[in-house]
Amino acid sequence: MEVLRLLIRPAYWWWALGAAAFFLALVTLFRAIAGHKRGQELLRFVSLSCALGAMLSQYYLVNSWVAGEDWSALLDCVPPVSKLLTVAVIVGLGLHLSALVIEKWRDSRPA
């Protein structure tokens, strides 16, 4: 029962939401390369929503450490995670930007 209660807490979903965000960003990119336009906006929206959910759940995790006064966890985890989140945001935005550029390039060239 304790394991189930831990899994339901939003603080521990950051890894699943982050993985889903990158997977959906890659799907969006590959669909743009293949020329599939249908559903691209929805995929982009869901991917960016998962990325935001991952960042928010990471914030909840840090908040739970602060509430529990677990200062060693904060000192050990926050600096590397902030760097990881920065890289994740840059890579995610780069994937989405690449998909947009490919779509616009395909639309602008003559048939």
Domain count, the chain: 1
Cα distances from 99 to residues 36, 87, 109, in angstroms, run 11, 18, 16
Stated pTM of the model? 0.75
21 near 51, Cβ under 8 Å? Answer: yes
CB atoms closer than 10 angstroms to residue 72 = 9
**Per-residue pLDDT for the chain (111 aa), expressed as one digit of tens each?**
566 666 666 667 888 888 999 999 999 989 988 888 888 888 889 998 998 888 888 888 888 888 888 888 888 888 888 888 888 889 988 988 898 888 888 888 776
User: Domain range holding 29?
Assistant: 2-108
User: And the tokens for 40?
Assistant: 């691209």
